[in-house]
Amino acid sequence: MTAVLDQLAQPDDAEVAGLDAWWRASNYLTVGQIYLQGNPLLREPLTAEHIKPRLLGHWGTSPGLSFVYAHVSRLIRLTGQQAIYLAGPGHGGPALVAAGYLEGTYSEIYPKVSQDEPGMLRLFRQFSSPGGIPSHVSVTTPGSIHEGGELGYVLVHAFGSVMDNPDLLTIAVVGDGEAETGPLEGSWKGISFINPEHDGAVLPILHLNGAKIAGPTVLARKDPAEVRRLLEGHGYEIIEVGGDELPGMHHRFAEALASAWGKIRAIQTAAREGGWDGRRPRWPLIILRTPKGWTGPQTVDGVTVGGTWRAHQVPLSGVRDNADHLRMLEEWLRSYRPEELFDATGAPTALVRDLAPAGDLRMSASPHANGGRLTRDLDLPDFRDYAVEVKRPASGRAESTRRLGELMRDIYTRNPDRFRLFCPDETNSNRLGAVFEVSDRAFMETVGPDDVKLSRAGRVMEVLSEHNCHGWLEGYTLTGRHGMFATYEAFAMVSASQTIQHGKWLQEASHLPWRAKVPSLNILLTSTAWRNDHNGFSHQGPGLIQNVLTQRGDVARVYLPPDANTLLSVADHCFRSRSYINLIVIDKQPQLQFLDMDQAIEHCARGAGVWEWAGTDDGTGDPDIVLACAGDVVTMETVAAARILMERLPAMRTRVVNVVDLMTLPRPKDHPHGMSETLFRELFTDNVDVVFAFHGYPGAIHQLVHGRPDADRFRVRGFIEQGTTTTPFDMTVRNRASRYHLVMDAINNARRLPSGATELKAWCEAQLVKHESYVVEHLEDMPEVRDWSLGDWAQS
């Protein structure tokens, strides 16, 4: 250990030459990607024809990213450490592509981009070009589990990747632009949840190059002592390296990296072999200060470019038309001495190649960054064992999510190395607390005698940050493990952009055969808009459904199980699935139970079906009205409405259709789950009006049924942004989705009206007036509130 640390810290001249050669090669390829469409090896003088017609890409951060990559590669080669590399400054796409190319991975995956002159030309041309690859680190980049683009998530991905992954070291480069975002600032605290016994390590490298797109950054311009204090305050031990002179920077960074790795190994060894006091380690963190656009043009047209925001994208513009810029570009490219780096065929020379580790240890080839390769199915208990007994539909109540908690408890037990629940401090509140029978909450800060189910051994992840929870789960699944993010429905919007970006990742990955499918991102929304009895309007918003609907059909899944047994069936399906966003929406409060387990399984397999027991439709001919529903509370209201109609207007033929898989509604051409038109007509008829009670915003149903036979006949009730602290029943009244509204809708739209309909409408209106006056009088008279928990479900 000491010997290898010494060697790491003190590279000899040959090693420095190797590091520098690899770095120069990577920089050369980066500049080539931005500028060249011909003459890739500079075998002839550079001319305008060799320059791309449009210059796109980001130079500024790239040399720093490559510099770090080179040094980590050497560390891996010398130590055998398994590592992956997450580039927070995702704009450095060409640097990471260059790294994969130099390591040979790129050509293995994309044979046309071969390690020779034609391949190099292809590498250059494809960059940021139609039909080619994006300019950011992306799904197409081997070795990446982190898309460059929306900033802020590099540390959450990194921490997620090392949970239950004890042998992995994740290098997370944080750009100083990204460091200004809220999600990033909120993610330094990951070390308060990482246990060196069973987790791997994250080495954050805060790469301060001073500027973002158009100006300096806060961290780059703060007193360095303040930056150090800030990160020490987060709990890190700071190692600082800065400058631009060579080879000095190689020596100093090698020493810094060796020091950091030595500390990490010491922490892990103590934790795993004895000698740890159990307190949160002070993990190392490197602050690296190098100029933006390091090794690039310093001054262009008399203006300082190097080290400023002007180096962010393309430092030399108009190269085709400006002979001076063309000359500068050629000098710049030749400054890397490509003739030393690539042989006659265009392949990297031994000087370059020898730096990199071999096989799966290459960061661009690490199976950890292609997590599907490491994914093992969950050992799942039989979900039927957790069933709620339902002897008669709608006769009993249960907290549905409690059963899911019990299922997850046993998943924890059976899969101690590959399953975690992520939740912003609401596991118990969401009735999932059974998991605490077998695992504590993870916590590395001080634990006191009054704390409950909280320890460093814990593996249930609670932190009051949707960004952390969501991002950790992303990192966990992208490295091949399984989990669920459970959160209050309204606050799922906090991390909605992460849901969307992860969906984009999965969509793109589905087109790349070399990317093995990973466990799905399972999101459970509880504490829903309809049942926030004691919280206000801010807690009422079913918006995430709306956003998942916009994702492509190969990724987006939305389930609205109405009760416990359907939830169990859906959850089992989701835990087995791969590479989806599975959104499951169900409330946590005691709720009516409708289906026994066999019925639930059949219902979920179909995704939608007629509930004969709830309606009066005898199956001969069309009903007078279809009452459809998706979502727990609105399903109860629909069943109650059908009951009212059955009792008070028995001659009206009603059919109740429940939808558990929302994606059965669109046409098959719009979503793979879309039911056939035949089935759609069987459920919803050809032209009978449908009163549809929906959990979310009504517009979602309108857009989903577009193109279905006579879609205009769907009258949708749902959440229309009416909320406050009130009873669940009052919520349905405020949003015009109560049983009484549904009965009136049914009467207003039925094909055929039996006598008595007018009277029934009047009765419904009277019920609503009664409710209204009850609410108004409530403050004067405060009676027992019979419907706080929806009381007798058919109290009407």
Q: 160-179: which residues touch a copy of itself (CB under 8 A)? A: 177-178
Q: What type of residue is 95?
A: A
703 near a copy of itself, judged by CB under 8 A: yes
Could you tell me which stretch among 324-332, 591-599, 648-656, 692-700 binds a copy of itself (CB under 8 A)?
692-700
What is the footprint of a copy of itself within residues 90-109 (CB under 8 A)?
90, 93
Position 52 contacts a copy of itself (CB under 8 A):
yes
Q: 199 vs 462, which CB is nearer to a copy of itself?
A: 462
Q: Is 468 in the site for a copy of itself (CB under 8 A)?
A: yes
Which of 108, 117, 185, 343 binds a copy of itself (CB under 8 A)? It is 185
Compute the distance between CA of residue 498 and CA of residue 466 in angstroms, rounded to an integer.
10
Q: Is 669 in the site for a copy of itself (CB under 8 A)?
A: no
Residues 226-245 that bind a copy of itself (CB under 8 A): 226-235
* Residue placing its CB nearer to a copy of itself in the complex, 498 or 593: 498
Return the number of the residue (274 or 783) whose C-beta is nearest a copy of itself.
783
Taking residues 359 to 378 in sequence order and writing x for each that binds a copy of itself by CB under 8 A, - otherwise, the string is --------------------
Q: Distance between CA atoms of 502 and 494, rounded to whole angstroms?
A: 14
Cα–Cα distance measured from residue 599 to residue 102, given in angstroms and rounded to the nearest whole number: 57
- Binding segment toward a copy of itself, per CB under 8 A, in 6-14, 223-231, 245-253, 602-610: 223-231
Decide if residue 318 touches a copy of itself (CB under 8 A): no
Asked if 380 interacts with a copy of itself (CB under 8 A), we say no
Query: φ and ψ at 702, to 5 degrees?
Result: -55, -40
Nearer to a copy of itself, 255 or 508 (CB): 508
Reduced to 3 states (helix: H, G, I; strand: E, B; else coil), residue 584 is strand
Q: Which stretch binds a copy of itself (CB under 8 A): 182-190, 364-372, 472-480, 641-649?
A: 182-190
Residue 251, judged by CB atoms within 10 A of its CB (0-12, 13-18, 19+), counts as: middle
Measure the CA–CA gap between 494 and 551, rounded to whole angstroms.
Answer: 18
Interacting residue with a copy of itself among 78, 720, 768, 794 (CB under 8 A):
720
Give the integer Cα–Cα distance in Å for 471 and 493: 14
Select 145 or 352, whichever has its Cβ closest to a copy of itself.
Answer: 145
> Does position 426 bind a copy of itself by CB under 8 A?
yes
Q: Does 512 bind a copy of itself (CB under 8 A)?
A: no
Cβ count near 789 (within 10 Å): 16
| Concatenated DSSP letters of 142-174 | TT-SS-SSS-S-HHHHHHHHHTT-TTEEEEEEE
What is the closest distance, in whole angstroms, from the C-beta atom of residue 505 to a copy of itself in the complex? 8
Q: Which one, 269 or 298, has the nearer CB to a copy of itself? A: 298
Beta strands in 617-759 (DSSP E): 625-630, 654-659, 690-694, 714-717
Out of 327, 578, 667, 706, the only residue in the binding site for a copy of itself (CB under 8 A) is 706
| Residue 768 sits in the site that holds a copy of itself (CB under 8 A) | no
Task: Choose one: 70-78, 336-344, 722-730, 745-753; the region binding a copy of itself (CB under 8 A).
Answer: 722-730
Angle of helix 154-162 versus helix 466-478 axis, rounded to 10: 50
Tokens 């001054």 sit on residue: 299
Closest CA to 2 of 257, 266, 201: 266
Cβ of 779: how many Cβ atoms within 10 Å? 7
Choose the stretch contacting a copy of itself; rule: CB under 8 A; options: 264-272, 373-381, 384-392, 457-465.
Answer: 457-465
Q: How many CB atoms lie within 10 A of CB 239?
A: 19
The amino acid occupying position 596 is: D
End-to-end CA distance of the chain: 76
Cis peptide bond N-terminal to 247, omega within 30: yes
User: Should residue 748 be labelled a site residue for a copy of itself when binding is judged by CB under 8 A?
Assistant: no
> Toward a copy of itself, which CB reaches closer, 52 or 739?
52
Out of 4, 7, 17, 222, the only residue in the binding site for a copy of itself (CB under 8 A) is: 222
Point out which residues pair with 81 in neighbouring strands: none
**Chain centre distance of CA 456:** 25
Phi-psi domain of 375 (left: phi exceeds 0; alpha: psi -120 through 50; beta: other): beta
Residue 351 or 460 with smaller CB distance to a copy of itself: 460
109 Cβ contact partners less than 8 Å away, ≥ 6 residues apart: 142, 514
When asked if residue 287 is in the footprint of a copy of itself (CB under 8 A), the reply is no
- Exactly one of 467, 588, 643, 673 binds a copy of itself (CB under 8 A); that residue is 467
For every residue of 722-774, which 3-state class applies, written as one string?
CCCCCCHHHHHHHCCCCHHHHHHHHHHHCCCCCCCHHHHHHHHHHHHHHHHHH
Q: Does 455 bind a copy of itself (CB under 8 A)?
A: no
Residue from 270, 710, 754, 768 in contact with a copy of itself (CB under 8 A): 710
The residue (of 415 and 507) whose beta carbon lies closer to a copy of itself is: 507
DSSP string, 301-370: TTEE-TTSGGGSS-SS--TTT-HHHHHHHHHHHHTT-HHHHB-TTSPBPHHHHTTS--GGGSGGG-GGGS
The smaller minimum CB distance to a copy of itself, of residues 269 and 789, is found at: 789
Quick check: 725 binds a copy of itself (CB under 8 A)? Answer: yes
Only one of the segments 267-275, 448-456, 572-580, 652-660 lies at the binding site for a copy of itself (rule: CB under 8 A); that segment is 448-456
The answer to whether residues 181 and 149 touch, using CB atoms and an 8 Å cutoff, is no
Please pick, from the candidates 775, 791, 794, 796, the single residue that binds a copy of itself as defined by CB under 8 A: 775
Asked if 322 is part of the footprint of a copy of itself (rule: CB under 8 A), the reply reads no
Residue 30 binds a copy of itself, judged by CB under 8 A: no
C-alpha to C-alpha distance for 342 and 350, rounded to whole angstroms: 9
**By C-beta, is 243 or 699 nearer to a copy of itself?**
699
Residues 592-621 touching a copy of itself, rule: CB under 8 A, are: none
Q: Which stretch binds a copy of itself (CB under 8 A): 348-356, 445-453, 517-525, 750-758?
A: 445-453
369: left (phi over 0), alpha (psi -120 to 50) or beta: alpha
Q: How are beta strands 454-455 and 482-488 bridged, if at all?
A: unpaired
The count of residues interacting with a copy of itself (CB under 8 A) is: 137
